[in-house]
Amino acid sequence: MDVDGDAVQFEDDFEVMEKDPDGRKFDRVSRFICQSELYDMSMTLDVNVEIYPIEVGEHFKLLLTNEVSSKGDSGGAGGGPTGTSLDDWEYVMHGKIFKIETSQSNDNQQNLYISFGGLLLLLVGDAKPLEQFKIDMYTYLLIRRTGT
């Protein structure tokens, strides 16, 4: 996948630790608690499981970025990203960062909140890998399985 040179991005491998810890609220959506491997991040993520079924114990790569494009591609007729870059991923959402908090107990820990049309993501961990993300920034979430 090509990401423009000035793009903001975060990439890590995650393992699904829990599914619907507070019970299932919607028929097609499950909430997953995941743990990252590289940055030791904790993530809570809502996923449309009718489109992308995922279970406890599965591993996946996650990319958060503000820009996607194909090499040499300036976008399609609709102005959006086209080509194979998104085709390399199994599940893609587009949303907006609505809240960023610094932990009161640990200055180096940050909470990043993103809404994908009602499906939510909360990423908690070291502030350094997340420092380029800003409130009101539009963000793509891209996921693909890496193993079980």
* Count of domains forming the chain: 1
> What sign for the dihedral angle of Cα 75, 51, 135, 106?
negative
Is 133 part of a structural domain of the chain? yes
Question: Is residue 86 domain-resident?
Answer: yes
What is the reported pLDDT for 70? 54
pLDDT at residue 87 is higher than 60: yes
Residue 119 lies in a domain: yes
pLDDT digits (tens, 9 = 90+) for 109-145: 999 999 999 999 999 999 999 999 999 999 999 999 9
84 three-state secondary structure? coil
- Asked if residue 2 belongs to a domain, the reply is no
Q: What's the confidence (pLDDT) of residue 18?
A: 98
Q: What percent of the chain has pLDDT over 90?
A: 72
Distances (CA, A) of 23 to 27, 32, 49, 59: 11, 11, 14, 22
Residue 97 belongs to domain with CATH number: 2.40.50.140
Q: Is the pLDDT of residue 79 over 50?
A: no
Backbone angles phi, psi at 88, to 5 degrees: -75, -5
**pLDDT greater than 80 at residue 44:** yes
Within a domain: 44: yes
What confidence score (pLDDT) does residue 74 get? 46
Q: Which residue has the higher pLDDT, 33 or 78?
A: 33
Residue 4 lies in a domain: no
- Which domain range does residue 55 map to? 9-147
What token pair was written down for 92?
């893609």
Q: Identify the pLDDT of residue 88.
A: 87
pTM for the structure as a whole: 0.84
Per-residue pLDDT reduced to its tens digit, 8-27: 899 999 999 999 999 999 99
Q: With bands split at pLDDT 50, 70 and 90, how would you rate the model's confidence at 108?
A: confident
d(CA 16, CA 71): 32
Classify residue 3: in a domain, yes or no.
Answer: no
Residue 1 lies in a domain: no
